[in-house]
Structure 1
Amino acid sequence: MSDEHPTLPYPEPSAEHPTLVIPGGDEQAAPAPPAKRRARWPWVLLIVVVVLAALVVAAELVARAVLPGVVRGIVIEQLDLPQDQQLQVDAAGILLPQLIGGRLDELHLSTDSVTFGGVTGAADVTATGVPLRGGDLTEAHGTVRIDQQQFTSLITASDLPIDEITFAEPDVTASGSFDVFGMPIPVALTVTPGADAGDVLLTPVKLEVAGLSLNAAEIAERFGGAAAQITEPQRICIADQLPAGLTVTGLQIDGSEAVIDVDVDGAIATDESLQQNGTCD
């Protein structure tokens, strides 16, 4: 350079004008911290739970599909019913724990027609504590519906002169005749049916004799003791027409059917004597 244009020296560094350090210069940049990996175990656990839930639901559906056939076979075998007996089965609650425990909490059985003892009708029974590996029921109760013909066969053991039975809810009219001095007198007795201590109870509400409506005093006056038997409540034992394990607790007329409420002895499932007809002492 010439003296005319001399080179000026750099100013001395001072606190007033600090030297700036350019980032990324000679110093090596610090490495960035590694990205955190998300934990996978909650997703794995969720998948396991979903799969187990699906298996439980599938097992429950299979149990509900198989159980009716199994129970039907047990009932038919233990109660000695026909092999083609129609029987609908429905179990309450979640089945898997009950099946594992070997006992059903509640079982509902129904059929449109079944014959037991000497009676044929539609039956609807609810049983609780039903063992699947044999044993007694905890308890059971239900209803049996029978028509006029079956009801007539039930009460033929009474002292009523019955030729025909007709239903007129809530009563029953028994038509027939009784002899007075060797002459048949037509009579129609209307009674209200019920049950007491296992027996059928018929309580008279109206009596027609030879077309005339008479009360008990008038009947006694005209016909004496010969007609007394049809003016008093009639108690009819039907134990000999039903399995000994059944006890009649109620009886009423519903339209064209007689509805009989029954309690079932839980031992009927194992005790053959309870499956046979009872006796009237």
Structure 2
Amino acid sequence: MSDDNHTLPYPDAAAEHPTLVIPGSASAQEAAAPRTRPRWPWALLIVVVVLAVLVVAAELIARAVLPGVVRSIVVEQLDLPADQQLDVETQGLLLPQLIGGTLDTLRLSTDSVTLEGITGAVDVTATDVPLHGGDLGGASGAIRIDQEQFTSLLAGTDLPVDSVEFAAPNATVSGSISVLGAAVPLSLTLTPGTVDGDLEFTPVAASIGGLDIDLDRAASTLGSLGEGLTQPQRVCVADRLPAGLTLTGLEVVDGAAVIDIDVNGAIVTDTTLQDKGVCPS
């Protein structure tokens, strides 16, 4: 055979060859159609945003409505004037607390309120407040009263009180005592405090008839009168307060008497704790 006629090699099966797409075929339609992205992530995002907006709106509504509801209940229960100024504050997100039926904390405060004839500023914080009835987890706070109201608080006690003057940390009580049938002016400077729920006043200075008395020698020079002047004076005011309320502290701060109180959580359900307490006879 002649070497002039060369034989062409067979195509390599491994080589890539372009595939012809016949117009109108299914492959052509698939190639021409754009790929559609799934829309569910966007729909889910919109749902989440709407729910977030609703939750925020509900929280704002709850914060706007709840203080008014609480204020109305307190004003009614304590028989306060309809226009009584009373601030109501809560902490944390309200919606979960409302759903659970218990407020974590509830703070009530007012610059001036009259209870049992005594007017002062009150700031009380209650914890674990049930919304559907039941006892509180507890409550504590402070009552702030001026010199005139403090004088009224001590009225009817054994202390000779006509007036009270504050000079932190002490209070000076002025009045009179009977000596041989005559009224003699008496002034006692006392450091206030509390013990076992009673008010306690520890004498630090005294004067009778305008003359200063040496407290260390009062008992020896004035007998039983001097001895009484030098001893701490305990004053029970339980009969003027609800039995479920206990005095835990008393101090003079910035020209006012600040009385710390502790409230039994069962006071909202136990009527005996709402009644006046009793002082030992």
The letter for the 1-side match of 2:128 is G
Deviation of residue 141 (structure 1)? 0.5
Deviation per CA, 1:145-176, whole angstroms, max 9, x where unpaired?
01111111222344332222100011001122
Work out the CA distance in 2 between the residues paired with 1:264 and 1:135. Answer: 15
User: Which residue is 1:173 aligned to?
Assistant: 172
**Paired residue total:** 266
Residues 118 and 165 of structure 1, relative CA distance in 2, 3 Å threshold: same
Work out the CA distance in 1 between the residues paired with 2:237 and 2:146. Answer: 16
User: Quick check: 50-59 or 153-162, which moved more?
Assistant: 153-162
Deviation per CA, 1:13-61, whole angstroms, max 9, x where unpaired?
9649x9xxxx99x984773634432111111101110000000000100
Deviation per CA, 1:47-97, whole angstroms, max 9, x where unpaired?
110000000000100010000111112222333333332211111111111
Work out the CA distance in 1 between the residues paired with 2:92 and 2:21. Answer: 75
Quote the RMSD (CA, aligned, Å).
2.6
Please, what TM-score do these two structures have when normalized by structure 2? 0.85
The percentage of aligned residue pairs carrying the same residue is: 57
Looking at CA atoms only, which structure, 1 or 2, has the larger radius of gyration? 1
Structure 1 residue matching 2:106: 3-state secondary structure: strand
Structure 1 residue matching 2:92: 3-state secondary structure: coil
Deviation of residue 188 (structure 1)? 1.8
The letter for the 1-side match of 2:109 is S
2:118 is the counterpart of 1:105: no
Structure 1 residue matching 2:185: 3-state secondary structure: strand
User: Quick check: 82-91 or 120-129, which moved more?
Assistant: 82-91
The letter for the 2-side match of 1:68 is P
Aligned ranges 1:102-181 → 2 under 5 Å: 102-181=101-180
User: Quick check: 247-256 or 151-160, which moved more?
Assistant: 151-160
Structure 2 residue matching 1:135: 3-state secondary structure: coil
The answer to which structure, 1 or 2, has the higher relative contact order (CA under 8 A, 6+ apart) is 1
The letter for the 1-side match of 2:40 is W
Work out the CA distance in 2 between the residues paired with 1:244 and 1:85. Answer: 24
Deviation of residue 263 (structure 1)? 0.4
Aligned ranges 1:79-98 → 2 under 5 Å: 79-98=78-97
Q: Following TM superposition, where does structure 1 have runs of at least 4 consecutive aligned residues deviating by more than 6 angstroms? A: none
Work out the CA distance in 2 between the residues paired with 1:231 and 1:118. Answer: 31
User: Which residue is 2:14 aligned to?
Assistant: none
User: Which residue is 1:9 aligned to?
Assistant: none
User: Which residue is 2:212 aligned to?
Assistant: 213
User: Quick check: 205-214 or 135-144, which moved more?
Assistant: 205-214
| Contiguous gaps of at least 5 residues in structure 1 | 1-11
Structure 1 contact 244–275 (Cα < 8 Å) conserved: yes
The letter for the 1-side match of 2:138 is E
Work out the CA distance in 1 between the residues paired with 2:87 and 2:274. Answer: 21
Deviation per CA, 1:93-131, whole angstroms, max 9, x where unpaired?
111111112211111111112222342211101001111
Aligned ranges 1:241-280 → 2 under 5 Å: 241-280=240-279
Structure 1 contact 245–265 (Cα < 8 Å) conserved: yes
Deviation of residue 212 (structure 1)? 3.3
User: Which residue is 2:43 aligned to?
Assistant: 44
User: Which residue is 1:4 aligned to?
Assistant: none
The letter for the 2-side match of 1:71 is V
